[in-house]
Amino acid sequence: MSVNKAILIGNIGRDVELRHTPGGMAVAKFSLATNERRKDKDGNWQDQTEWHNIVAFGKLAEFAGQYLGKGRTVYVEGSIRTRTYDDEKGNRRYFTEIIAQAIRFVGPKPQGGGAPAGPSGEAPEPPPENEEDIPF
């Protein structure tokens, strides 16, 4: 027996990208930031942001494209998938994503459309994506 389950609560880092496959199935992609706070060896609080690539399909993708946006806090439940591909130089690349099976709102909708400020007072920026290298 095995289990592949991810449960995340975090803030959406950029607006949802909604596309459709040639067969008409909706596919939504977005980044989700989760934060962990801990004390370092000197007793100072340090924040670490982890970015997760989220993918939803079908009706869940349509929901994400219509109702989710940058800064929104959401609960995502799904499975972890790692894909490999070769970039234009022939190098093997790995891409890990969460295939969403459930998405729920957590907390109020952010005001002003921006990402909520973190403990440092600044919203973290998502890492740059080079989507051109990733087959869709």
**Domain residues of the chain, as ranges?**
6-36+49-111
Q: Residue range 62-87: average pLDDT?
A: 95
| Six token digits for residue 50 | 């982890």
Record the pTM.
Answer: 0.75
pLDDT of residue 130: 46
Question: Which ranges in 30-87 belong to alpha helices (H)?
Answer: 58-67
| 91-99 average pLDDT score | 95
pLDDT at 94 over 60: yes
CATH architecture type of domain 6-36+49-111:
Beta Barrel (2.40)
Phi, psi of 111 (to 5 degrees): -85, 145
pLDDT band at 96 (very low <50, low <70, confident <90, very high): very high
